[in-house]
Amino acid sequence: MIKGIFPGSFDPFTLGHLDIARRSARVVDKLYVAVLINASKRSAFTMDERINMIRAALDGESNIEVISFDGLLVDCAKQYGASVIIRSLRDSSDYLSERQMETINKRLCPDLEIVYLNSAPELMHISSSAVRELASYGCSIEGFVPEINRKIIIERLCKNG
């Protein structure tokens, strides 16, 4: 049984992330979507909010489980028995930063494999920070985030209520 882990800050989870999670779940037997603390970023949503939004978006995906982890990604993978880390690539700048992270993770845990999925072309422009910025000005985030999460994101982030 191949277990994979799709880690990220997911602040918030976007349609780009949803696409990668669903596609990854077809290539591994069990997928953990892992919400990790990124110490260098201040998050807009609490861990519980992020997890609940991801669970709502992935409702019905029987081989996906949403988890949280505060520590190293390689330790999270070990704890859950995952042998594959899934990351997504939107463009060449993602590639460069991912290579650096891969090198570090491989040094920490040589047995782990990192598998990259290219973003769907129509979702390449999406990022969590763009969602946060648009929502904070009350702009539409339709087509950026799962429909089921749209209202809560606007309510939480829109400066004009």
Least separation in angstroms between residue 23's CB and ligand COA is: 10
Whether 78 is a known active-site residue: answer no
Least separation in angstroms between residue 113's CB and ligand COA is: 15
The residues, ordered by sequence, that sit 6+ positions from 104 with a Cβ below 8 Å of its Cβ are: none
Give the type of residue at 125. Answer: H
Q: Which is nearer to ligand COA, 112 or 154 (CB)?
A: 112
Rounded CA separation 40/105 (Å): 17
The contact set with ligand COA (CB under 6 A) reads 7-11, 14, 16-17, 20, 36, 38, 41, 72-73, 88, 90, 101, 104-105, 119, 126-129
Whether 97 is a known active-site residue: answer no
Which is it for strands 64-69 and 30-36: parallel, antiparallel or unpaired?
A: parallel
Least separation in angstroms between residue 47's CB and ligand COA is: 12
Sheet holding 84-89, edge to edge: 64-69, 30-36, 3-8, 84-89, 113-118
Catalytic residue among 55, 90, 106, 150: 90
Q: Which is nearer to ligand COA, 41 or 99 (CB)?
A: 41
Rounded CA separation 98/57 (Å): 25
Give the CB-nearest residue to ligand COA. 16
Q: Which residues are catalytic?
A: 17, 41, 90, 128
